[in-house]
């Protein structure tokens, strides 16, 4: 990774071309609350193409995940994540889990395994987006698993950051943790501005696919 090899140069060209072509916020740094959420068009575990525009008029939550990451395991083993997913579904919110680990990296799963994980963990996302080329992760600047994003019904990013205020992998940290996601959703529901629209996400690094 020292010198600019031919390969990375070509990769760089490709990225530039792609971002120009799509006109999206790709490679422009992380998505920021208050600005339009980066568009995406990505295949889910059922083979359907999911686009952000499909959910215009609805609130969407994105959850970057990696089932083997200890921080993700903290939230799933305690059922905190599943409870949050179910509560958000009751609010009429669309919950999309995103898996950006490329093949060969921790957290990478195929559609069948992703579904099996949902079943065995009693999780309740609307669906799971498979992003093995980490394109969506780059568009959003996802750093950690979990990394949470809330997109309001107009397509504006309302929240980006941590799931709660206790950056720890220890189950004991769940006690007394303040859920930034619940807080933001409650404020949105009450018609108030989100008081903490951006926080520092914590967790394992998102395993990015090399740009190719």
Partner 1 sequence: MSTLDMPARNGFSLLKRAALALALLTPATAWAAESTAVTSPRVVATLLSSRDAVAPGERFHLALAHKITAGWHTYWRNPGDSGEPTKIDWQLPEGATAGPIQWPAPKAIAFEPLVNFGFDGTVLLPVEISVPAEAKPGERFAITAKATWLVCEKICIPEEGVLSLDLPIAAEPVIDSAAQARIARTLAGLPQEAPFRAKLTANGPDKMTLAIPELPAGISELRYFPLSDTLIEHAAAQQVEGGTLTLARSSAFRIAEPSVEGVITYSQGGTKRALSLSADVAPDLLAQASAPPAPPPVVTLPTLPAPPAEDLTIWVALAFAFAGGLILNLMPCVLPVLFIKALGFAQAAQASRSEVRVHGLLFLAGVVGTFMVLAGLAIALGAGWGFQLQSPPLVILLAVLMSLIGFNLLGAFEIGGKVQGLGDGLASRGGPVGAFMTGALAVVVATPCTAPFMGAAMGYALTQPPAAALSIFLALALGFALPVVALSFAPGLQRLLPKPGPWMVVLKQGFAFPMFATAIWLVWVATMQTGANGALAALIAILVAGFAVWLLGVTRRRGAALRVVAAGLAALFVTTTAAFVIESAVPPKQAPASAGASDVWSPERVAELQAQGKPVFVNFTAAWCITCLANERVALSRQDVKDAFAALGVTYLKADWTNRNAAIAAALAEHGRAGVPLYLVYPGSKGAQAEVLPQLLTVDIIVRAAERAAGREVQTARNP
Binding status of residue 77 toward partner 1 by CB under 8 A? yes
Nearer to partner 1, 85 or 199 (CB): 199
At closest approach, how far in Å is the CB of 47 from partner 1? 28
Nearer to partner 1, 87 or 111 (CB): 87
Q: Considering only residues 144-183, where is the footprint of partner 1 by CB under 8 A? A: 144, 152-154, 156-158, 160-161, 167-173, 175-176
Among 29, 47, 112, 119, interactor with partner 1 by CB under 8 A? 29
At closest approach, how far in Å is the CB of 115 from partner 1? 19
Binding status of residue 70 toward partner 1 by CB under 8 A? yes
**Interface size with partner 1, residues (CB under 8 A):** 68
Q: With b meaning 16 or more CB within 10 Å and e meaning fewer, what string describes 162-189?
A: bbbbbbeeeeeeeeebebbbebbbebbe
Binding status of residue 4 toward partner 1 by CB under 8 A? no
In 53-141 the beta strands, taken as DSSP E runs, fall at 60-64, 94-99, 127-130
Cα-only R_g, the chain? 17
- 92 and 86 Cβ atoms separated by less than 8 Å: no
Report strand pairing: 204-205 vs 49-51: unpaired
Binding window for partner 1 (CB under 8 A); candidates: 18-26, 47-55, 119-127, 187-195: 187-195
Q: Number of helices (H) and strands (E) in the chain: give both, helices first.
A: 6, 9
Binding status of residue 87 toward partner 1 by CB under 8 A? yes
- 75 and 167 Cβ atoms separated by less than 8 Å: no
Half-sphere exposure of 15 (CA within 13 A, CB side): 19
Nearer to partner 1, 44 or 100 (CB): 100
Element at 151 (helix H, strand E): strand 147-151
At closest approach, how far in Å is the CB of 122 from partner 1? 13
78 CB-near residues (< 8 Å, 6+ apart): 171, 174
For the record, the structure tokens of 204 come out as 């394992």
Binding status of residue 103 toward partner 1 by CB under 8 A? no
Among 138, 164, 179, 181, interactor with partner 1 by CB under 8 A? 138
The residues of the shown chain that bind partner 1, judged by CB under 8 A, are 1, 29-35, 58-59, 68-71, 73-74, 77-78, 87, 90-93, 105-106, 138, 141, 143-144, 152-154, 156-158, 160-161, 167-173, 175-176, 185, 188-189, 191-208, 210
């Amino acid at each position: 990774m020292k010198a600019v090899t031919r390969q990375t140069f070509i990769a760089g060209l490709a990225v530039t071309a792609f971002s120009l072509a799509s006109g999206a916020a790709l490679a422009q740094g992380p998505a920021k609350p208050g600005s339009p959420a980066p568009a995406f068009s990505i295949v889910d575990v059922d083979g359907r193409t999911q686009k952000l525009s499909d959910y215009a008029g609805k609130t969407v939550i994105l959850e970057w995940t990696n089932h083997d990451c200890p921080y993700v395991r903290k939230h799933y083993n305690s059922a905190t994540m599943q409870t949050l997913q179910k509560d958000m579904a009751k609010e009429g919110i669309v919950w999309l889990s995103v898996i950006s680990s490329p093949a060969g990296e921790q957290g990478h799963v195929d559609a069948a395994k992703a579904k099996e994980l949902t079943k065995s963990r009693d999780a309740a996302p609307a669906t799971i987006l498979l992003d093995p080329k980490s394109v969506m992760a780059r568009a959003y600047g996802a750093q950690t698993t979990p990394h949470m994003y809330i997109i309001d019904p107009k397509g504006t990013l309302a929240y980006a950051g941590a799931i709660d205020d206790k950056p720890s992998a220890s189950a004991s940290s769940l006690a007394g943790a303040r859920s930034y996601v619940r807080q933001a959703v409650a404020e949105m529901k009450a018609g108030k501005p989100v008081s903490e629209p951006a926080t520092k996400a914590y967790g394992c690094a998102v395993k990015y696919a090399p740009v190719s």
